[in-house]
A = this chain, B = another copy of it.
Amino acid sequence: MIDFVLLIVIAICIIALGLAAILTRNLLSQDEGTPKMREVADAIRVGAEAFIKRQYSTIAVLAIVSAVVIFAIYYLTGQQAIALATAAAFIVGATCSAVAGVVAMWIAVRTNIRTAAAAQTSDGKALDFSFRGGAISGLIITSMSLLGVSLTYIALGADPTHTPFVIIGFAFGASFVALFAQLGGGIYTKAADVGADIVGKIEAGIPEDDVRNPATIADLVGDNVGDCAGRGADLFESTAAENIGAMILGVALFPIFGVNGILFPIVMCSLGLLASMIGILSVKGVDGADPMDAMNRGYYITALISAFFLAGGVYFLLGATPGWMYFVLAGFIGIALSVAFLRVTLYYTDHHYRPVQDIADASETGAGTNLIMGFSVGLETTAVPAVLIGISLLASYWCGTMTGIPQGGLYGTAVATIGMLMVCAYVLTMDTFGPIADNAGGIVEMSQAPDEVRHRMDKLDAAGNTTKALTKGYAIGSASLAVFLLFNAYMADISKLTGKAFDVVNLANVNVFVGALIGAMLVFLFASLAIRAVSKTAQYVIEEVRIQFKDPGIMAGTKKPDYARVIDITTQGALKNMILPGALVILFPIVIGVTMKYEALAGFLMVATITGILMALILNNSGGAWDNAKKYIETGVHGGKKSEAHKAAVIGDTVGDPFKDTAGPSLHVLIKLLATLTLVLAPLFI
């Protein structure tokens, strides 16, 4: 039975990889546009590859040290039997995550040019190319995550009551790499962007993506290394961590479900991958149509098929339980939550609705009021999502309870999480589509293509902004369901280690309360350092661009600026400035756990998670709303481009940049890193 179920997972993964290969071959055979376009695209590719190489070399050193520490901790705390396995799983997870990042970047820097070339003739084709580029990443990353967990499970002996606790090393390795990848990439992309904007748009008054600006190529490189590679690593570790969290819960329910309960999450995710493939193939660009229509339709198709697969999967794997229908209901709640989160995010970041319009209105009275309103909108965006998460958790828990099995409530939340994760590959596709379209737009702009080509790309670029905001909303929503699962995995792990039930985290206990206070603080401190890192790195960029602008040849457009130097400076700055915030979030929970022990650490973990979820919403959505308020004004309202309102909106956008692309997405990773870290290092905290 094990073999058969796992075989389905592996088979679906192989189909997905095959589809990715076909899409890749097809895409690579496409036209690469004008020589000017190729020149820009080559510069981006070289820059991105250089950054990724240096970034992953740094991360590799950190990861190897951590693996040795993990081994030592397990060995010295009397867990010799699993010390090597856990450390090895960590290394495998870290490697897979790195590969996920590299793949996402590799595809993106090859798809951008082909999308730009396609935009010369057809916007439908441009959508097809950029969307399929995203799909290649989505399929490879999701199937790698599933294969990684499945094969590690088999390699470790497929012992149902034991293995899931060991493969958590895999998830921690993935989180570890994702944190630094997202943080370093996020710092890079926004330092280049802020630096380019401040000296270019604000000081020198030249347009965005102007060839004369030496920071433009670095800015375009940033989209690939931050948005593509960073988010790729982020969603890779999400699926891994959440699947393993659900598998550990399955261990507790082994007497009831048998091995089916443990393998349920990965089987369902593989069925979700199948649904995503159908959804991806259903998307077809149409000239002149709104690209969001095609992508939204694909999303709804994926969600609908996932719902069917979910019902079938529950019946097939857990159907022996009398109340299995309630688990189906719980899964539907998860799928519904993913749709609801997209709608809410759209409301807060799209210019058709009140929030963005309010920010645009407030820009009329200057940057001060634009910022006050944007910040107020950001804070407001926590309300509906928090209520939605609360209702989903309570409802799916209730569903689980209705099945009548012990710990059924928890398994209900697990099924909801899995339901939400089933559409992951499709979401990742939409997510990677964004930076590819953005990049293609930059290439078109920098290669001074005709206006009609630019207009085609502008439309795609705007859709990309929307999808990037939406998928961040999805990442938060799925993380917030998953963490509740991971907390319980941590408590199960501690119970197993101490041999007595650990099922109360008493916030009225002074230790736990202090742990919780420090946990919430860590989120703010981390966000502070991530934002500051962008600011520091941007300073280097600003200084360099100012020096180059003093050369009259560059401003006249007769001399090519030194793009490579800005890329190099940004790379160095980003790598240097990612270490402090990254190290902090790893060391803090260890210090709290070692000094105050596991219950206080649980308080730390849970309240850090709550604060992290809400803070990520604030940062992502305020940043997105500021960006779109600026774009809304650029459509001609409130005086359009060059008006005072536009200037104010540009300042708001600059402030929002490190919020939405550095601190916010890094917080997604932080939330799950804390959960996997506490799980792996549990022996230290008892």
Chain A residues engaging chain B, CB cutoff 8 angstroms: 194, 197-198, 202-203, 362, 365-369, 371-373, 375-380, 382-383, 386-387, 389-390, 393-394, 397, 409, 413, 484, 487-488, 491, 503-508, 510-514, 516-518, 520-521, 524-525, 527-529, 531-532, 534-535, 538-539, 542, 602-603, 606-607, 610-611, 613-614, 618, 650-651, 654-655, 658
CB distance from A381 to the nearest CB of B (A): 9
- Contacting pair B377 A610 (CB below 8 A): no
| Contact A618 to B542, CB < 8 A, known contacts A372-B658, A503-B508, A651-B368 | no
A524 and B607 in contact (CB under 8 A), knowing A508-B505, A651-B367?
no
Q: A372-B531, A531-B372 are in contact. Are A394 and B524 (CB under 8 A)?
A: no
- Residues of B near A397 (CB, < 8 A) are 510
* Most chain B CB neighbours (cut-off 10 Å) among A393, A506, A610: A610
Minimum CB–CB distance for A448 against chain B, Å = 28
- Contacts of A377 on B, CB cut-off 8 Å? 528
Q: Min CB distance, A584 to chain B, in Å?
A: 10
- A609 to chain B minimum Cβ distance, whole angstroms, is 9
Q: List 14 A-B contacts (CB under 8 A).
A: A198-B366, A366-B651, A366-B654, A383-B525, A394-B514, A413-B510, A487-B508, A507-B507, A507-B516, A508-B602, A516-B606, A516-B610, A517-B610, A517-B614
- Dominant SS at the A interface? helix
Top-8 shortest CB links A-B: A368-B654, A379-B528, A386-B521, A390-B514, A380-B528, A505-B507, A376-B532, A376-B531
Q: Which of B524, B534, B651 is in CB contact (< 8 Å) with A618?
A: B524
- How far, in angstroms, from A262 to B387 measured CA to CA in the complex? 40
Known: A372-B535, A535-B372. A379 touches B525 (CB 8 A): yes
Given A513-B606, A517-B390, A606-B507, decide whether A373 and B535 contact each other with a Cβ distance below 8 A: yes
| Neighbouring B residues of A510 by C-beta, 8 Å | 393-394, 397, 409, 413, 484
Kindly provide the distance from the CB of A677 to the nearest chain B CB, expressed in whole angstroms: 18
A379 and B650 CA atoms in complex are apart in Å by: 23
Residues of B within 8 A of A383 (CB): 521, 524-525
Q: How far is the CA of A368 from the CA of B618 in the complex (A)?
A: 18
CB-CB under 8 A from A513, the residues of chain B are: 393, 484, 606, 610
Contact A525 B382 (CB under 8 A): yes
For the complex, what is the distance from the CA of A397 to the CA of B508, rounded to whole Å?
13
- Looking at the assembled complex, report how far the CB atom of A509 sits from the nearest CB atom of chain B, in whole angstroms: 8
A655 touches B508 (CB 8 A): no
Q: CA–CA, A216 to B589, complex, Å?
A: 50
Measured between alpha carbons, how far is A595 from B491 in the docked complex, in Å? Answer: 27
What's the Cα separation between A386 and B608 when bound, in Å?
Answer: 13
Asked if A202 contacts B376 (CB within 8 A), the reply is no
CB-nearest residue of chain B to A483: B513
Tell me whether B386 and A527 are in contact (CB under 8 A).
Answer: no
Q: Which of A373, A378, A654 has the most CB of B within 10 A?
A: A654
Instruction: Please state if A373 and B532 are interface contacts (CB–CB under 8 Å).
Output: yes
A203 to B367, CA, bound (A): 12
Tell me the bound Cα distance from A316 to B440 in angstroms. Answer: 79
Contact partners of A534 in chain B: CB under 8 A: 372
Are B542 and A365 in contact, with the CB atoms below 8 A?
A: yes
Q: A394-B510, A607-B610 known; A382 and B524 CB under 8 Å? A: yes
Tell me, in angstroms, the Cα distance from A650 to B203 when the chains sit together.
18
Q: How far is the CB of A570 from chain B (nearest CB, A)?
A: 16
Residue of B390, B506, B539 near A505 (CB, 8 A) is B506
B residues less than 8 Å from A607 (CB atoms): 507, 516, 520, 607, 610
A508 touches B491 (CB 8 A): yes
Instruction: Determine which residue in A203, A606, A613, A650 has the highest number of CB atoms from chain B within 10 A of its CB, and name it.
Output: A606
Does B507 lie within 8 Å of A602, measured CB to CB?
yes
Task: From the candidates B198, B487, B518, name the one contacting A369 in the complex (CB within 8 A).
Answer: B198
- Which of A202, A514, A602, A650 has the most chain B CB within a 10 Å cutoff? A514
A519 to chain B, nearest CB (A): 9
Min CB distance A652 to B, Å, is 9
Min CB distance, A316 to chain B, in Å? Answer: 27
| Chain B, residue nearest A512 (CB) | B507
- Assembly CA distance A520 to B617 (angstroms): 13
Contact: B505 with A368, CB < 8 Å? no
Complex Cα spacing A370 to B368, Å: 12
Most chain-B Cβ atoms within 10 A of its Cβ — which of A375, A487, A539?
A: A375
B603 touches A507 (CB 8 A): yes
CA distance A532 to B394 in the complex (A): 31
Alpha-carbon separation in the docked complex, A125 to B503 (Å): 64
Q: How far is the CA of A198 from the CA of B372 in the complex (A)?
A: 13
**A376 with B484: CB separation less than 8 A:** no
Shortest CB distance A215–B (Å): 13
Task: Give A491's nearest chain B residue, CB to CB.
Answer: B508
- A198, A510, A532 interface centre (most CB from chain B within 10 Å): A510
| Nearest Cβ on chain B to A312's Cβ, whole angstroms | 27
Residues in B with CB closer than 8 Å to A529 are 376, 380
Contacts of A362 in B (CB 8 A): 535
CB distance from A79 to the nearest CB of B (A): 24
Residues of B within 8 A of A390 (CB): 514, 517-518
Distance to closest chain B CB from A204 (angstroms): 13
Q: How far is the CA of A539 from the CA of B376 in the complex (A)?
A: 15
Give Cα distance in the complex from A369 to B532, angstroms: 10
